[in-house]
């Protein structure tokens, strides 16, 4: 169990009413992870939803066997591993602690169960997760554009280029 005040330090939880925070607080626990700890592995099931109280976590994915791209650094107050709360999904990235981290964790399966028991909780969390994904989506669109704009060989149809690459 963690304190409601600790959950309020997490951006995704800030706007949740106290009676919903109380439900999550009872299921959550505070853990310490050391530098280099791999919390999420690409293409594997994610067991926990993570809320970073202190420290820094790198979100990365490889583009070639030798080159990893860090998609973002998670700072305190932010969360990751939201896929743990979506049934039947796997990780799209790896998450690795860049320094000793203090993290609130909740079992993804338990969260899914809580959502089924309390749709108000499910609704508000899914609304916040979708806002977060929207920010990521917009950010990725800008990253694609910036990368291609900087390259002389700019493609006009990213979708077709990508589809062709998957064939």
Partner 1 sequence: MVDKEILKKMLFLRELPDPLIEKIGSIATLETFEKNAVVFHQHQDLTHLYMLVSGKVHFTIQSASGKALVLDKIDEGRTFGVSALMEESSSAYTAICFKDTTLVSIPGKQMHQLFVEDFKLGHILMLKVVRLFKARMEMHTRQFLLSLATHSEIKSLQ
Q: State the residues that interact with partner 1 by CB under 8 A.
A: 61, 63-64, 66-67, 69, 71, 82-83, 86, 89, 92, 115, 119-120, 122-123, 126-127, 129-131, 133-134, 136-138, 140-145, 147-162, 165
Q: Between residues 32 and 144, which has the closer beta carbon with respect to partner 1?
A: 144
Helical packing angle, 119-150 and 108-117, nearest 10°? 130
Contact 79, 124 (CB under 8 A): no
Q: Between residues 53 and 85, which has the closer beta carbon with respect to partner 1?
A: 85
Shortest CB 134 distance to partner 1, Å: 6
Q: Distance (Å, rounded) from C-alpha 56 to C-alpha 163?
A: 34
Q: Distance (Å, rounded) from C-alpha 98 to C-alpha 67?
A: 18
Q: Between residues 54 and 158, which has the closer beta carbon with respect to partner 1?
A: 158
Contact 70, 60 (CB under 8 A): yes
Q: Between residues 48 and 128, which has the closer beta carbon with respect to partner 1?
A: 128
Shortest CB 106 distance to partner 1, Å: 17
């Amino acid at each position: 169990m963690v304190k409601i005040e600790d959950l309020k330090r997490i951006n995704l939880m800030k706007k949740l009413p106290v009676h919903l925070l109380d439900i999550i607080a009872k299921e959550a626990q505070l853990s310490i992870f050391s530098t280099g700890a791999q919390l999420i592995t690409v293409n594997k099931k994610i067991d926990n939803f993570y809320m970073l109280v202190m420290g820094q976590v790198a979100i990365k994915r490889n583009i070639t066997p030798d080159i990893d791209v860090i998609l973002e650094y998670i700072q305190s107050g932010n969360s990751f591993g939201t896929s743990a709360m979506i049934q039947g999904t796997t990780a799209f990235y790896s998450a690795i602690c860049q320094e000793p981290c203090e993290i609130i964790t909740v079992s993804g399966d338990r969260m899914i169960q809580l959502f089924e028991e309390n749709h108000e909780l499910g609704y508000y969390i899914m609304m916040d997760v979708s806002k977060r994904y929207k920010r990521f989506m917009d950010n990725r669109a800008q990253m694609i554009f910036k990368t291609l704009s900087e390259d002389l060989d700019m493609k006009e149809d990213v979708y077709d280029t990508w589809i062709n690459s998957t064939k």
